[in-house]
Structure 1
């Protein structure tokens, strides 16, 4: 337990300062897209300071792509939502499709609100789909990329059959490309009372693998399969202890 206790205390004490500062700016309407990316990068550095190791591949292909995209990834913990804006940087503004319950957390709701996220109820799938297509289209037209985790729940394992097509539908509707994101973020555990406040375990590496942008042309199901195959192959390779090659070095 102490091996996880000390990094957990160390990280959350830093995160409280970072989130507190961001929340202060957000409530005053002064938290910009650049500020959100900077705050996210600060959280990544805070995790690194307590011993968490980040392995990131594929960012070059994303950064060299002109225009916004739909990022589609598996969902394991709170870490990916906190880290992705910082990994992508100031020049790639993003927002999220997020569940309504996250907008109830004190301070965090103000910071998340600064992203102007696409909030879904998770109670009416048809209404949620219509909302995501409408609002997601508006964000993409304005140059902001959209991050979607199309699983019903966070999971340590990847089940292709349970991976929804929402990202593909939004990309097809708007004519932008999808970027698959395979991730392994178990170093930030799920909490017992508050899901987003779990143990920090530096023994587990954090891995982000960004794929090359995939245009949704012709058969959209084929584009969806390409995303699923990318994520599934990386998850399987990581679980087996090997390193999949996706043609890109650390970003």
Structure 2
């Protein structure tokens, strides 16, 4: 099984010699290859042959293509996942399409995992077959009460079956972090399922939002993409302290990355 190679618990994109095409037109260089990855994965998923190993391979292929286009990636805190022996709820901020595509390659080699996603992602042409094959938890993002019920029911079921759940509790993707936009749905799920939460801070604005299609914006190769996992937390009481700790972890990491 393919996997990311860490040195002292950290992964950093190695120095690369970019092609002339990659240097001059990084976004076009990336998307020309990215769409082939998605098409191949979608075809395989439609045939019912897209398993966990395939998901990891697709994710790592996207990582490689991003790096070949000039995006640098740094991943830290992986030791906080390696020490786990039970499924968890991973709670992070949400900036771009990048995390949805790269997190499987980071987490799935270590533990079975799925996402809480917008229902619209399950209706995307081609990509829908991949997402459906991964047994996600689909929410509307328009009816908080209904979404909470779905996450509590389906999320607990996934966790009891040994599948960790990634939750992005913000109402929408944002390149600015506002703790007030972070709902407590992930903490509530962990509390109900009696599992820990793992904070996830990320900065992926190197993949910008598109003007016409939000998921397909240009790449800003001057920026580094960051992923960092915090120590797992057991939810006590109503979970207010744990929610604050998650928000503080994300905010502190973002401040450090912006320097």
TM exceeding 0.5: yes
How far residue 104 of structure 1 moved from its aligned partner, in angstroms, is 2.0
Residues 237 and 23 of structure 1, relative CA distance in 2, 3 Å threshold: same
Could you give the per-residue CA deviations for residues 108-134 of structure 1, whole angstroms, max 9, x where no partner exists? 111111111111112221111011010
1:28 aligned onto 2:41: no
Q: Does 1:214 pair with 2:233?
A: yes
Q: Partner of 1:182 in structure 2?
A: 201
C-alpha separation in 2, matches of 1:52 and 1:66: 33
CA distance in 1, matches of 2:103, 2:50: 17
The answer as to whether partners of 2:26 and 2:70 remain within 8 angstroms in 1 is: yes
- Give the CA deviation at 1:231: 0.5
Does residue 1:46 correspond to 2:65, yes or no?
Answer: yes
Matched, 1:121 2:102: no
- Distance 1:144-1:5 versus aligned 2 partners, 3 A rule: farther
Aligned length: 239
Is 1:107 the counterpart of 2:126? The answer is yes
**Residues 38 and 89, structure 1, Cα contact 8 Å, conserved in 2:** no
Q: Cα offset for 1:62?
A: 0.6
| CA deviation map 1:119-172 (0-9, x unaligned) | 111222111101101000111111111111000111111111121101100000
What is the distance in 1 between the residues matched to 2:139 and 2:96?
18
The match for 1:85 is: 104
Q: Distance in 2 between the 1:4 and 1:135 partners?
A: 44
Q: Are residues 1:236 and 2:259 paired?
A: no
Q: Where do 5+ consecutive residues of structure 2 fail to align? A: 1-20
Q: 2:191 aligns with which of 159, 165, 172?
A: 172
Aligned twin of 1:132: 151
Cα 1:4–1:215 change in 2 (3 A) is: farther
> Does the CA contact (< 8 Å) of 2:22 and 2:69 recur in 1?
no
- Using structure 1 for the length normalisation, give the TM-score: 0.91
RMSD of aligned Cα (Å): 1.5
**TM-score normalized by the length of structure 2:** 0.88
Runs (4 or more) in structure 1 with deviation over 4 Å come to 2-5
C-alpha displacement of 1:218 = 3.8
